[in-house]
Amino acid sequence: MHKEFSSKHFCLEKVSEGIYVAIAREGGGAVANAGFIDLGDRTIVFDTFNTQQAAEDLKFIAEKITNRPVTWVVNSHWHGDHVRGNQAFNESNIISSQVTYEKMKDIHPARINQQKNDIQGLRNYIHSLNGQLNQTNDPKLKRQINFLSEIEVSLPTLKLVLPQITFLDAITFHGSKRSAQLFTLGGGHSFCDAVLYIPEEKVIFMGDLLFVDCHPTFFEESNPENWIHILEKVRAMDVKIAIPGHGSIGTKIHILELINYINDLTVIAREKDQIEDIKVPNNYKNWRSPEVYQQNFKILKEILKC
């Protein structure tokens, strides 16, 4: 490991031979986790963070450690914190599922334009938060200001870079030292979620299908039933290390915890009507972002129409 390397956006960890994970630092420009795999003669980067400045750091260290340019870049799903750094890898082949490509193409241009057109509004908002910070010195507020400041830095030069290559179900990358299997079983967290499995090292990059020790985020597009189905499939695989989209490095235990979380929340959403009655269960009390739990309850009620 290159001890002299340090990024304010992520913390780099070597999880297995040729496999490195970039765990997002709170308040940085990464937001979600990413990583890279040295196949021996080629390199794959998995996800590109929320900003190009965070992605530049990832590209720098991936090329330094592997001693070659990045060959492939995978976008696990269409959400911004996994794809907005794509422009840092404009010399690599960017790949995603066909559905992810279509969603990126449909949704991001208007969203990014709207943000670019309101940079001054963002600056004013950061300024007002700084005023609050001077009075409260709240660490959570400080992290929010840092996060928004990274978006402010990224917006003037941000370009949407779409994948050039798409796949429907699965694609395998063969290298001289190890291979990697990229596949999707449809949508769970998002419209379509892809995972990357490295069989030789028994490691799987799961994107936002896995959150470790932090509350997962549900959206109207989420499919809780299929999400569980995908997690069960991954649990049946020969996996020792599971890399989440958010949180620290996990194992099959964390996959099971998330299955239980989705099942538990589904039962509660069917039984209870009032959000005021909803408290975070003890099993998930110590997970990060507890405020997400009630939000998930509301969205799940909407999805289940109950």
- From start to end of 168-217, where are the E strands? 170-174, 179-184, 194-198, 203-205, 211-212
Q: So what's the pLDDT on residue 91?
A: 96
Q: So what's the pLDDT on residue 22?
A: 98
Nearest to 97 by CA among 119, 74, 118: 74
Q: So what's the pLDDT on residue 301?
A: 93
306 — pLDDT class (breaks 50, 70, 90): low
Per-residue pLDDT for 119 more than 90? Answer: yes
In this predicted model, what pLDDT tens digit does every residue of 138-178 receive, in sequence order? 998 999 999 999 999 999 999 999 999 999 999 999 999 99
Q: Is the dihedral of CA 139, 140, 143, 149 positive or negative?
A: negative
Q: In a 10 Å sphere around its CB, with 0-12 CB exposed, 13-18 middle and 19+ buried, how is residue 193 labelled?
A: buried
Per-residue pLDDT for 2 more than 60? Answer: no
Pick the CATH number of 10-103+160-262 from 3.30.420.40, 3.60.15.10, 3.50.50.60, 3.40.50.150: 3.60.15.10
The Cα 1–Cα 23 span in angstroms is 15
In whole angstroms, what separates CA 196 from the centre of its chain?
13
In this predicted model, what pLDDT tens digit does every residue of 79-88 receive, in sequence order? 999 999 999 9
Q: Is the dihedral of CA 119, 124, 127, 129 positive or negative?
A: negative
**% of the chain surpassing 70 pLDDT:** 98
Q: So what's the pLDDT on residue 279?
A: 87
The Cα 214–Cα 231 span in angstroms is 17
pTM: 0.96
3 — pLDDT class (breaks 50, 70, 90): low
Residues of the chain with CATH 3.60.15.10: 10-103+160-262
According to DSSP, the β-strands at 211-212 and 241-243 are unpaired
Lowest mean pLDDT among 9-18, 132-141, 199-208, 225-234: 132-141
**% of the chain surpassing 90 pLDDT:** 92
Write the CA distances from 124 to 80, 120, 152, 196, integer angstroms. 23, 6, 11, 40
Average pLDDT over residues 272-284: 85
**b/e per residue 250-281 (b: at least 16 CB within 10 A):** bebebbebbbebbeebbebbeeeeeeeebeee
Q: So what's the pLDDT on residue 275?
A: 76
The Cα 65–Cα 54 span in angstroms is 17
Lowest mean pLDDT among 137-141, 215-219, 294-298: 137-141
Sheet holding 10-16, edge to edge: 10-16, 19-24, 34-38, 43-46, 72-74, 93-97, 165-167
Per-residue pLDDT for 277 more than 80? Answer: no
Average pLDDT over residues 181-185: 98
Do 32 and 50 touch, CB atoms closer than 8 A?
A: yes
Nearest to 113 by CA among 175, 148, 158: 158
Average of per-residue pLDDT values in the chain: 96
Q: In a 10 Å sphere around its CB, with 0-12 CB exposed, 13-18 middle and 19+ buried, how is residue 143 labelled?
A: middle
How long a stretch of residues is the chain? 306
In this predicted model, what pLDDT tens digit does every residue of 14-46 receive, in sequence order? 999 999 999 999 999 999 999 999 999 999 999
Do 154 and 53 touch, CB atoms closer than 8 A?
A: yes
